[in-house]
Amino acid sequence: MYSKLSLRNVKRSFKDYAIYFLTITLAVCLFYSFNALPAQKVMLDLSSHQEELIDSFMTIIGIISIFITILLAFLILFANRFLIQKRKKELGLYMTLGMTRFEISRVLLIETFLIGLISLGVGLGLGIILSQGLSILTVTLFKVDMQVYQFVFSVTAMLKTILYFSLIYMIVMMCNVIIINRQTLLSLMTAGRKNQRVKMRKTSTGIGLFVLAVLMIGTAYIIVLRNDFILKDLNILYLSVILCLIGSILFFFSISQFLLHIIQKNKQLYYKHLNMFVLRQISSKVNDTFISMTLICMLLFFTITILSTAFSLKDGLEGDLEITTPYDASFFFFNREASPEEMGEKLRELRLDEYGNTVLFNEYVFDQPIVESVNDIEDVSIKKWLSQTYPTIITQTTYAQLSRLQVKEPVTLKENEILFLTNIGAYEDEMRQFTKQIYHMKIGDKSYSISSQGYQLFSTRTDMMATEEMVVVVPDDATKGLRIESVVLNLQYTGSKEKADAEIYQRVQSYQKYKQDNFHLVSTFKNRIYEWGVITSNQIVYIGLYIGIIFLISSACFLALQQLSEMSDNMERFNILKRLGVTQTEINHIIFIQILIYFMVPLTLAVLHSIIGIRVLSRTLTNLIGSHLFLSSIMTAGVLLLIYGSYFLVTYLSYKSIAKQMTR
């Protein structure tokens, strides 16, 4: 009997449930497809090392999934509360008919269960389709040949999805029981009545606040754009983030008042058809919406930034690897007590020259920031950078040997000339400016001139990340009296790379095991770094996609629910308009405009924020390639259009159909 009632309720109020259903289905779909990623392993030819990396990646996805589940739980609870709110009268009617609270809770329980079951089923189905799409993405990302196309299905991911979402439904059901138990019959029956009167604010304050908001956001933009080393000076970054945040809050608080005021000035426009109604309509809601608008704007900002930089970051990271891994393997010691001869001896003990050509060299270090050794520089930001930089130093001989090992023509250096090296692509601009502005550098008592080449993009060892901010190549005799930081050995194989990698790895392991002192040997292998790099960068892409899309869904769902929860107030207004002779088509038009404005305003500001954010990221973090950024921006726009657009459409359609039913 009760289940019949529930079933009919679900069928009847499907329009109300549309947003709820859409959100859960999308969430289930994403949750499944990202948790099903390891199932794709069967398609890829992976080394055991890569499999280990993928396992650790899955741990990250697992942790993110927990956070996402919590976020979704809140979202679903919010949606559920909205539905209960809408149906209070109906529930009150059940109560007057003699149903107990327990029985009403049971009806709701079955309803939640049904909706949950349907959306879980549909979501999983879509998830299985989406994960096939992700497989294709994986194949492209990992640049591997697909051995055999296989239909990917992960039982673990399915069970996990069912478990997590069942938990969410359980919480929703519990909340429903609590909500119902708290209600009195009176509060249920009078729920439809408005107890909130609209209070309108004066518009003059809105203008001041809007100008302030624009100024704050503008200042924040200028700060981050002017400051080339924003990520190094976190205080300035925080300042601009806070400015931007407060500016955004004020922006949403005042924009409708501002527009209202501006348009009111133009009487022809304001008193044209229904313009004033629409404007007043939007400005009347500002008190309830500005906080959530800011939240939505921030979520969208993260979505856009994450999605459009994820692919570029991947390219940047993999591009960096080209520069940072010029040798097949590198070995180095850190030990301040031991002499360089001792360290060199230890490295020679490994007998690495059996596998190919080696270069062994000392790395010296400057004990003072480089700014004190060069002529005065006017550029403030460069000067600031130099005052924080302690360069590493190698000799001209070492540089020539390393160049030969890389099969690269070295820059010709005169006897008292020095050359700067960096392996961080993002610093090229600064390096160029810096080497143009200095004429000489002092080491010890002697002064050296700068090579006409200035700087070179060069790595002195193979490493996972570009960390060699500044290396100075100096004449051999200039290193006297400088402290040795470490001893490095670079190796270029002549024979089989796989065999060498495996054997040397073994040798280093056993060396580490039997070492009797605190000589710590670090070894890096080009192949391993590449395997690691490809997987890491793909992790960034996947995590970016996962979080970005979930954020997008959350913000769109939040917006949609907010619009729909205002519906009952607006129905009354639409009824009045109809009596005044406004046609249904015009009312639909008003609904469209209103929802469009609500969806577009936070999106517009978010897009502006992201443009600035991406610019800062692209300049500071990696050398993002323009064309890739463009492509991923197009892709982001596509995802945004699809998901945000469908939420907009569903909101508009359900709004419209309810408006048609409820107004005459």
By C-alpha distance, which of 425, 423, 399 is closest to 490?
Answer: 399
Q: Is 197 in the site for other proteins (CB under 8 A)?
A: yes
Q: Which stretch binds other proteins (CB under 8 A): 112-120, 154-162, 494-502, 580-588?
A: 580-588
Q: Which stretch binds other proteins (CB under 8 A): 88-96, 184-192, 264-272, 288-296?
A: 264-272
Identify any residues that bridge with 441 across adjacent strands, giving them in sequence order: 374, 448
- Taking the C-alpha atoms of residue 317 and residue 464, their distance in angstroms, rounded to an integer, is 10
Nearer to other proteins, 282 or 441 (CB): 282
Most distant CA pair in the chain: distance in Å? 101
Contact 307, 635 (CB under 8 A): yes
Count of residues making up the chain: 664
Q: Is 580 in the site for other proteins (CB under 8 A)?
A: yes
Contact 241, 556 (CB under 8 A): no
Burial (CB < 10 A; 0-12, 13-18, 19+), residue 659, is buried
In angstroms, what is the minimal distance from the CB of 184 to other proteins?
26
Out of 193, 199, 265, 513, which residue is the one contacting other proteins (CB under 8 A)? 199
The two three-digit tokens of residue 268, written as one number: 């022809």
Q: Is 656 in the site for other proteins (CB under 8 A)?
A: no
Give the x/- contact pattern for other proteins in 458-477, rule: CB under 8 A.
Answer: --------------------
By C-alpha distance, which of 276, 271, 247 is closest to 260?
Answer: 276
- Taking the C-alpha atoms of residue 212 and residue 268, their distance in angstroms, rounded to an integer, is 28
Nearer to other proteins, 199 or 336 (CB): 199
Nearer to other proteins, 113 or 592 (CB): 592
In angstroms, what is the minimal distance from the CB of 15 to other proteins?
22
Q: Which residues in the 624-643 window bind other proteins by CB under 8 A?
A: none
Nearer to other proteins, 272 or 483 (CB): 272
Residues 6 or more apart in contact with residue 11 via CB below 8 angstroms? none
Q: Is 597 in the site for other proteins (CB under 8 A)?
A: no
- Written as one letter, the residue type at 645 is G
Contacts 24+ apart (CB under 8 A), 193-201: 194/569, 194/572, 198/284, 199/287, 200/280, 200/283, 200/284, 201/257, 201/286, 201/287
The two three-digit tokens of residue 459, written as one number: 């790595």
Out of 267, 336, 480, 513, which residue is the one contacting other proteins (CB under 8 A)? 267
Contact 546, 34 (CB under 8 A): yes
Q: Is 242 in the site for other proteins (CB under 8 A)?
A: no
Q: Is 660 in the site for other proteins (CB under 8 A)?
A: no
Out of 61, 443, 582, 617, which residue is the one contacting other proteins (CB under 8 A)? 582
Strands annotated E in 349-497:
356-365, 392-395, 417-422, 440-443, 446-457, 471-474, 483-493
Contact 492, 330 (CB under 8 A): no
Please report the DSSP string for 126-144 in residue order.
HHHHHHHHHHHHHHHHTT-
Identify any residues that bridge with 449 across adjacent strands, giving them in sequence order: 417, 440
Q: Is 583 in the site for other proteins (CB under 8 A)?
A: yes
Q: Which residues in the 271-300 window bind other proteins by CB under 8 A?
A: 271-277, 280-281, 283-284
Nearer to other proteins, 384 or 578 (CB): 578
In angstroms, what is the minimal distance from the CB of 581 to other proteins?
3
Q: Is 483 in the site for other proteins (CB under 8 A)?
A: no
Q: For 47, how many CA atoms within 13 A lie in the half-sphere containing its CB?
A: 12
What distance, in Å, lies between the first and last C-alpha atoms of the chain?
Answer: 34
Q: Which stretch binds other proteins (CB under 8 A): 12-20, 151-159, 239-247, 263-271?
A: 263-271
Nearer to other proteins, 276 or 295 (CB): 276
The two three-digit tokens of residue 645, written as one number: 């657009």
In angstroms, what is the minimal distance from the CB of 152 to other proteins?
53
Q: Is 519 in the site for other proteins (CB under 8 A)?
A: no
- Taking the C-alpha atoms of residue 164 and residue 20, their distance in angstroms, rounded to an integer, is 17
β pairing state of 440-443 and 483-493? unpaired
In angstroms, what is the minimal distance from the CB of 277 to other proteins?
6
Out of 63, 185, 198, 465, which residue is the one contacting other proteins (CB under 8 A)? 198
Nearer to other proteins, 63 or 576 (CB): 576
Q: What is the DSSP letter of 503?
A: H
Q: Is 661 in the site for other proteins (CB under 8 A)?
A: no
Nearer to other proteins, 193 or 480 (CB): 193
Q: Is 513 in the site for other proteins (CB under 8 A)?
A: no
Out of 101, 383, 507, 573, which residue is the one contacting other proteins (CB under 8 A)? 573
Q: Is 202 in the site for other proteins (CB under 8 A)?
A: no
In angstroms, what is the minimal distance from the CB of 584 to other proteins?
7
Contact 74, 553 (CB under 8 A): no
Nearer to other proteins, 232 or 273 (CB): 273
In angstroms, what is the minimal distance from the CB of 569 to other proteins?
8
- Taking the C-alpha atoms of residue 508 and residue 70, their distance in angstroms, rounded to an integer, is 45
Q: Which stretch binds other proteins (CB under 8 A): 193-201, 229-237, 432-440, 519-527?
A: 193-201
- Contacts with other proteins by CB under 8 A: the residue count is 29
In angstroms, what is the minimal distance from the CB of 592 to other proteins?
18
Q: What is the DSSP letter of 410?
A: P
Q: Is 515 in the site for other proteins (CB under 8 A)?
A: no
Q: Residue 327: helix, strand or coil by DSSP?
A: coil
Q: Is 50 in the site for other proteins (CB under 8 A)?
A: no
Q: Which residues of this chain interact with other proteins, rule CB under 8 A?
A: 197-200, 267-268, 271-277, 280-281, 283-284, 573, 575-584, 664
